[in-house]
Amino acid sequence: MLYRRRAEIVGGGFAGLSAACALAQRGWQVRVHERADKLRTTGAGIYIYENGLRVLEALGAYEAAVKGAPIAHTREVRDGSNRLLAVHRWDPSRRVFSIVRQQVINALAAAAERAGAEIVTGSEAVAVEPGGELLLANGERIKADLVVVGDGCNSRLRDGLGLLSTRRYLPDGCIRLLIGKTAGERSGDGGTTIEHWSGSRRVLYTPCSETEVYIALTMLHRDAVAKATPISREHWRRWFPHLEALIDRIGGEGRYDRFELIKLKRWSAGRVCVIGDAAHALPPNIGQGAGCAMMNALSMAVFLERHADVPAALDAWEQSERPLTEHTQRVSVFLGLPTFWPAPLRKLFFSVAGRSRWMMRQRTRMVDHVPLGTVTR
């Protein structure tokens, strides 16, 4: 019987599930370990751009992932008095969907299982060795040809391997939640997202399904009143008086996360590779964290198909993919800077950034990239 290479994957998020699909589709015997009792993503909605959508297509998860989700066509930036500061219309040749996160996770999990991967929930990994040995919390030791570490920002396995180079907590963070659409919203334009600014606080309004709107409330990490959950409706109404009706629709839900930036010394050690936020978390200012995670998971499987030697394949993969990921990290951090600027300067920045072709090219380099492993590459 033909020997099938075996991969153990830690983490059932965007990174781990994409890797599971891509490897299983290429003949690997794959098992995903997710420590939670079910596949459950934190956050509420998500933007997935052309690059990430191409990966979902290649993985066979696209149709289910975008079902019922609106194509985002316009993004408005408004000030605290509801005055329009900037309008960006997405080029229709580059698709952008705003989607309920759980729907994408479910689509990836279904595609991985269809490709033959096994997903084990309630299975926590505690350590990994560069030789390909994975230790689970239940004491089981597993030897694999490849271990993929996709366990998110707080990755314990990455830290155990000594791969972390930079972990920078950024000065801002965000509360995310979903609210039900009103009758008017259900029949209205689902493709316009609006970012409202008031001082250093923001309300991002994004329709993300036929029935739900994704709300992201962004603030400085030191802003204890704004980052409290459940949110203080009284304060948010005062900061955004024109959004009173919207704020009143927010109940007790919502979760606060601080933004962070992660860089590694290397993305792999021997037969172990680190993917997704565990390897390269970035702030969400250009909505590319999951996009990068999915692209790099797919390209990793392609490199492993090209090179029989696992450590050599992982080296070649990192050399090929890391520059674009780091560019995306830099642009995303840069676009977060106006949060700390006075309102007039921020207004100037948005108007210049909105018109600058150079800025637009930097911002869309990832979106325009055709990911390795998708139809045309």
Ligand X SMILES: Cc1cc2nc3c(=O)[nH]c(=O)nc-3n(C[C@H](O)[C@H](O)[C@H](O)COP(=O)(O)OP(=O)(O)OC[C@H]3O[C@@H](n4cnc5c(N)ncnc54)[C@H](O)[C@@H]3O)c2cc1C
Contact footprint for ligand X (CB under 6 A): 10-16, 33-36, 41, 43, 46-47, 124-125, 150-152, 156, 174, 176, 216, 257, 276-278, 284, 287-291, 293
Q: CB-wise, 125 or 347, nearer to ligand X?
A: 125
What is the DSSP secondary-structure string of 318-346?
HHHHHHHHHHHHHHHHHTTGGGGS-HHHH
User: In the bound complex, what is the minimum distance in angstroms from residue 285's beta carbon to ligand X?
Assistant: 9
Q: Tell me, what amino acid is at 244?
A: E
Q: Which is nearer to ligand X, 274 or 310 (CB)?
A: 274
* SS3 category, 262: strand
What CA dihedral angle connects 320, 25, 38 and 216, to 10 degrees?
40
From the CB of 176, what's the least distance to ligand X, in Å?
5
The CA distances from residue 236 to 43, 84, 106, 205, in Å, are: 20, 20, 33, 14
Strand-pair category, 74-78 with 6-10: unpaired
Please say which residue, 149 or 347, places its beta carbon nearer to ligand X: 149
What is the rounded radius of gyration, in angstroms, for the C-alpha atoms of the chain? 21
Least spacing, CB of residue 208 vs ligand X, in Å: 10
Closest contact distance (angstroms) between CB of 290 and ligand X is: 3
In the bound state with ligand X, the residue whose beta carbon lies nearer, of 198 and 329, is: 329
> How many residues are present in the chain?
377
Of 190 and 347, CB closest to ligand X: 190
By C-alpha distance, which of 51, 196, 23 is closest to 111?
23
Distances (CA, A) of 29 to 48, 238, 245, 265: 28, 55, 52, 29
Q: Which phi and psi angles does 134 have, rounded to 5°? A: -115, 135
In the complex with ligand X, which residue's Cβ is closer, 150 or 371?
Answer: 150
Round to whole Å and give the CA distance between 30 and 52: 22
- Two structure tokens written together for 128: 């990994």
Give helix then strand counts, H and E, for the chain: 14, 18
Minimum distance from CB of 40 to ligand X (Å)?
7
DSSP class of 70: P
* Residue placing its CB nearer to ligand X in the complex, 96 or 304: 96
Provide, rounded to whole angstroms, the least separation between the CB of residue 166 and ligand X. Answer: 16
Nearer to ligand X, 295 or 353 (CB): 295
What's the closest the beta carbon of residue 2 comes to ligand X, in angstroms? 30
Least distance (Å) between residue 16 CB and ligand X: 6
